[in-house]
Structure 1
């Protein structure tokens, strides 16, 4: 017997709902149904929900999420990435969906330009083993190698 938890849906935790009913409301005998907008702060039924409402010339997106799992900034980034992907798909629909970027131009600059800027001045008159020995002398007590529970410092190397 599988272990059951009432904290999440047993079948899925992420839902994409496309609302593309032109009518907007449905009338049945003795019953009238209509679309009700989700309210801010309403408790999430699933870990993550993307509700897409199609209108005549646009798509409206609404994100719902479990605040115990996601922060508002994380969902905002997901929404931005989804917007970047949708824009790319509209501009080049013939391309494979996996070939498109998700990151914004600003994020790419941060990841590749600022965070990955590893340029360093290296003295050309020294060989690699000499540079390593110099670094080992400066940090002789710091851990240099860990293997199978054995720890060696730079000085021991």
Structure 2
């Protein structure tokens, strides 16, 4: 087994997480980690700027997560309440992210932290109901934890 095959074999209930999802998801976390480090350890005005950048990037990524829900809904064979509910929920992350951009940085970070936790919860529920791939939690949980820890560090730095 080569290293690429091994990297794609992070499993949950026998379901493989696709390698591109692992690499691209991990790359998406890097700006959060970099901003958190700069916000905590960097000199001013760079530290304040990093916290603001984290709010902006967080709003974009939160919107992306809503887009995943939209995709799951439109790809569903069930055009009933499940699809309607998922389509309705899929637009909320964008609206919450936009709202976070309008708040002072500390509050924006805290709103994003809460929203990322709620979206993760909804994603885990969707997987349990068979509406998302079985491997989805194996990808989403570590990425979301890294994002949420970064947001906490950004908020601590913003106090």
Band of TM-score, shorter chain: under 0.3
TM-score under structure 2 length normalisation: 0.24
Structure with bigger strand share is: 1
| Bigger Rg, which one | 1
TM-score under structure 1 length normalisation: 0.24
